[in-house]
Amino acid sequence: MKLFITIYQDEDGVFIAECPAIPGCVSQGATEEEAEKNIRDAIKECLEVRAEKGMPLTVAVRELEVKV
């Protein structure tokens, strides 16, 4: 399964990784690489829990253009 993730650095310098298709699936790391590894593990765990509870594995994620 391929999923999009976002990675950004917070005000304390920690890299935060999120998977928008899985609500609440967030992790972090000291580097982008560590955050990516950690979110990969978090995604696996989140998918297992959602499957056990009979929940949809993911939610819809769309790209939206907003003119500023």
Q: What is the 3-state secondary structure (H, E, C) of 10-32?
A: CCCCCEEEECCCCCCCEEEECCH
Across 35-51, average pLDDT: 98
Does the global pTM surpass 0.75? Answer: yes
The pLDDT score that the predictor gives to residue 21 is 96
- Domain enclosing residue 13, as ranges: 6-52
Residue 60 forms part of a structural domain: no
Confidence of residue 27 (pLDDT cuts 50, 70, 90): very high
Query: What pLDDT sits at residue 44?
Result: 98
In total, how many domains does the chain have? 1
Residue-level pLDDT at 22 = 97
The reply to whether 46 falls in a domain is yes
Q: Does 32 fall in a domain?
A: yes
Q: Is residue 58 part of a domain?
A: no
